[in-house]
Amino acid sequence: MSSQHTAPRPLSLAAELEAAQELAIRAGAILVEHFGSDDPVRWKASDDPVTAADYCASKMLVTELRRLFPQDGIISEEEPVDPYQARRQRVWFLDPLDGTQEFVEGCGEFSVLIGLAIGGVPKLGVIYEPASPRMICAIAGEGAFALEHHQRVRLSVSPETESDRVIFARSRSHHTPIVDDVMERMGVRTVITRGSLGTKVGMIARGTAHAYVHAGTRTYQWDTCAGEVILQEAGGSLTDMNGHALHYGGADLRNLHGVVASNGKIHHKLIQAAQARASAAGV
């Protein structure tokens, strides 16, 4: 018997990706059906709306994923969080309507986010923008792709390294002075404003933007799981504002130290600018 060990085979998540793509399209159809309607809007906070579209899309996604993958944990923004679900080895993180504020305002910058983490690490992601319609997806180790006209087009981040040429994707609804300060320290000249976090991360993965920063604790694991694996597979980086990896699962689902996403080439500059800002503010 040979003493050589065979390298472990890559984890195959083809069935999971196919299911996530189909479910994202179905969720997007629900959102489009409600888009522009006079459905009542509830407010979880003064700037955090939720609509019937959020709930309907969430219910469908959770029901179908539970049927398809009964052993997996499922965490959706619009469902009560069961701590047991978050502690499972495989956990789906869902934002059925990322960019609800834009959705309510009649702006098409919203998306469906479906991510799968295994052992606390993102392994699969789908971002679907139904108003476009446009879909990007990835499996860890297999690259990131856009699905265009029934063809898979590989995604790759921009190679830009010069700060004054950086295109910064800034939040339309949750903009803060901290982000302005980071951009000023970086010497950023060009800013694109968009709604959904998924849309902004997708722009970086496509190479049409280079950086995005969200300071504070107002993003959650369902906001970043799908986008993180897609961006990494496109050659970019997504960390907290200290440059540390995000972890998925656990008791607290917030990203407690913010989010920094980039093409990877300028990531250290963004982290340095964010830390300099924090130091100046005495944080």
Q: What is the pLDDT of residues 133-169, one digit of tens each?
A: 999 999 999 999 999 878 899 999 999 999 889 999 9
Domains of the chain: 14-154 (3.30.540.10), 163-280 (3.40.190.80)
With pLDDT > 90 as the criterion, what percentage of the chain qualifies?
Answer: 70
Q: What is the mean pLDDT of residues 73-86?
A: 91
Ranges of beta strands (E only) in the chain are: 41-45, 48-51, 73-76, 90-98, 111-118, 121-129, 134-139, 144-148, 151-154, 167-171, 190-194, 211-214, 237-239, 259-262
Q: Other CB atoms closer than 10 Å to residue 281's CB: what's the count? A: 9
Question: In whole angstroms, what is the distance from residue 132 CA to residue 199 CA?
Answer: 11
Q: What is the pLDDT of residue 11?
A: 62
Q: Which two structure tokens, joined as six digits, stand for 76? A: 């959706």
The model scores a pTM over 0.85: yes
More confident residue, 244 or 1: 244
Q: How confident is the model at residue 33 (pLDDT cuts 50, 70, 90)?
A: very high
Question: In whole angstroms, what is the distance from residue 243 CA to residue 157 CA?
Answer: 19
